[in-house]
Structure 1
């Protein structure tokens, strides 16, 4: 089958394989550190509020620096940015290990390390995304986008599982693991041959603020980019709210904490399986049907939680819900990458990172408000109703209905000289 040959070629792409392998390890290290941060703060201060401050510092730093980071990604060599981010994170984590070993770590240092991690992620993610069309042929970009999503889910699952275990061995042990994961990713990146960007050298850099505005205008001025960004933001916002509502509902119904943990794990497993299936679905179903189909399926599935009183059955529902979005995200991400000029891809990633991050941050707050205002099943229905409204908007949107088929060719400028 043609699809199988494409996946095989992607698997044999040495440079993509090096990048993917390094980043799945790096993602596991980051997730391990994110579990360890609040545990360390609680052990040092006993303050839950200060634990939240440290964990929140990562997301806040990533949001605040997201737009400038995207502009810098379009200005600087992207491979050097990625190498620098891995090196800086390894150094920051190593410093924290030494401070914990000597008993000198305080909340201020933990916040500083968290901020460094957030800034590095704000730079690394758009740099990697913008590099993808230059690392793999355009027909393999959908598979690469989907495998990157599977990589992120796998790294988060493994890191979350490891974090508590390593912390039990010692406060500094999770961060030792984090150091080695970033060093591993750094070495893997050294051997990645990333084609040079001739367009970046052809134009002198403008004022950073003007470059940020240029990126915002580009995204807003492209109807298909605008509507697909709306789809992603809406999905992140309402699903993160729905997730919190379901966790609270499960707790109120007396589900054991072990079953709730299984629910969360099955959500991640469903996402991984969905990401693996996404390239196959992307090749056979039009982007319009993929995107609207996901929203229609969520509209049908999300209210079913009202009738489920068993944690394992709820986990199956979570897995089914999480299985669907990666295919739509693959269609959206592929179109956005291949239809954005290379010199603007970093800023595209910065805009998407900030909007997606805001949605992910506001979603739990919205879910918490729903739980307080409409306790129990009504909160589920309100959340499902919001998803239904977005579903109708996407289904009738003329721009989305005219979305190009996955088989339509997209020209991408390719270079041969490595950075």
Structure 2
């Protein structure tokens, strides 16, 4: 593996990635527009904040249920087909929200169904990326995707509200559906067809637990996932406290917006710095320190610093959270290709569940203590927890992309048929 970091031009020189990237942005924007538009539709139709919140929060619930059940589709069918089908299905379902007389509970169920199509889409794309990009281009592309996701997250909410104001709810929903239609078209045009990872005649052994089993049986994958889950849970617990934090500092909605935008801004800046200024080997060495820093820097909020310093700390926490970019690349290379979709599904499902749980726990704590105290304690606890995981972190082989030999399918025999081999090679995919 070369020590020179790949450039953005080298990443975008890959034709398939250009189309995957454009489709990813459109699909991500569509997800944001769906959440904002349907939640607004529910609220204006019922006046119920609880139903509107349920509509918006359905994306978390969809990952918790659809992640384990549906991400395995990316390992059983051609991944290009999964991407196209998920986009076309969302494009077909979303306009149904504009049907007159549709009850609010039905809208919540509709949005939940639409969100169920995201886990197989994300898993299929994540599993396809190492096949499209080799060497450090794969790691840098993960950084590009992450940076753009942060930007879309910040801009998507404002654009969603503007579309509703300019085009009406029905018009906004049609634009929303159009983003998925164009995404599917780009994938069909620009991404080459590949066979399903599992040969059609091979026995379909239990797939739902295969991703979890692959992660649990390999110490490197266990370390990658546990560090990601731990650092993210303690760091993003603060995200659910931005409103009470703004109130504590005497601010209003504008202050909440600034606080919410700080971490994504830092994540984007950290992603650029990590992928463009650090050589590949250095990125791997920085993962654990940055994971601890992403939570630990928030411990200073306990001291109730000035608001400008709180914003700076949130930016720094977001920048350190960019450790997930090289970690994602290591994880993607280490998982056998025929289990990659399910393994990513397990990782993202656990991440969503823990982040949501951490936000709820932080909110309950903030009913009793000041938001600054809860955020500071969460940050300090997160740093300690990550550092406690240091003995589990792989020391020697974590710096190089690794791959497993493809496990041999053994028809109707022992349970080892679905287990990856422990021997890794230094070849690039």
Name the TM-score, length of structure 2 as normaliser: 0.87
Does the residue aligned with 1:201 lie in a helix, a strand or coil?
A: coil
Work out whether 1:190 is the aligned partner of 2:185.
no
Note the aligned Cα RMSD (angstroms): 2.4
Match of 2:416 in 1: none
- C-alpha offsets along residues 283-305 of structure 1, whole Å, 9 cap, x if unaligned? 25535531222134235421232
Match of 1:417 in 2: none
Match of 1:92 in 2: 93
Q: Residue 398 of structure 2: which of 389, 393, 404 is its match?
A: 404
Pair 122,5 (structure 1): closer, same or farther in 2 beyond 3 Å = closer
Pair 250,287 (structure 1): closer, same or farther in 2 beyond 3 Å = same
Work out whether 1:157 is the aligned partner of 2:154.
yes
Q: Which ranges of structure 1 fall in alignment gaps of 5 or more residues? A: 414-419
Pair 407,126 (structure 1): closer, same or farther in 2 beyond 3 Å = closer
Q: Distance in 2 between matches of 1:113 and 1:190?
A: 26
Q: Residue 229 of structure 2: which of 221, 227, 233 is its match?
A: 233
More helix by share: 1
- C-alpha offsets along residues 71-92 of structure 1, whole Å, 9 cap, x if unaligned? 2210011101100011011111
Work out whether 1:291 is the aligned partner of 2:292.
no
Residues 317-326 or 337-346, more deviating: 317-326
Pair 347,193 (structure 1): closer, same or farther in 2 beyond 3 Å = same
Pair 259,211 (structure 1): closer, same or farther in 2 beyond 3 Å = same
Match of 1:355 in 2: 350
Match of 1:23 in 2: 24
Pair 390,364 (structure 1): closer, same or farther in 2 beyond 3 Å = same
Q: CA deviation at 1:202?
A: 6.2
- Whether contact under 8 Å (1:133, 1:412) holds in the other structure is no
Residues 253-262 or 240-249, more deviating: 240-249
Q: How does 1:12-411 map to 2 (within 5 A)?
A: 12-97=13-98, 99=99, 103-169=100-166, 170-194=168-192, 196-197=194-195, 199-201=197-199, 203-207=201-205, 210-280=206-276, 283-287=279-283, 289-307=285-303, 310-326=306-322, 328-395=323-390, 397-406=391-400, 410-411=426-427
- Whether contact under 8 Å (1:83, 1:190) holds in the other structure is yes
Pair 310,185 (structure 1): closer, same or farther in 2 beyond 3 Å = farther
Q: Distance in 1 between matches of 2:294 and 2:126?
A: 27
Name the TM-score, length of structure 1 as normaliser: 0.89
Q: Which ranges of structure 2 fall in alignment gaps of 5 or more residues? A: 403-424
Q: Distance in 2 between matches of 1:140 and 1:351?
A: 25
Q: Distance in 1 between matches of 2:338 and 2:287?
A: 27
Does the residue aligned with 1:401 lie in a helix, a strand or coil?
A: coil
Q: CA deviation at 1:239?
A: 1.5
Residues 37-46 or 243-252, more deviating: 243-252
Q: CA deviation at 1:216?
A: 1.6
Q: Distance in 2 between matches of 1:3 and 1:289?
A: 15
Count residues in correspondence.
405
Q: CA deviation at 1:35?
A: 1.7
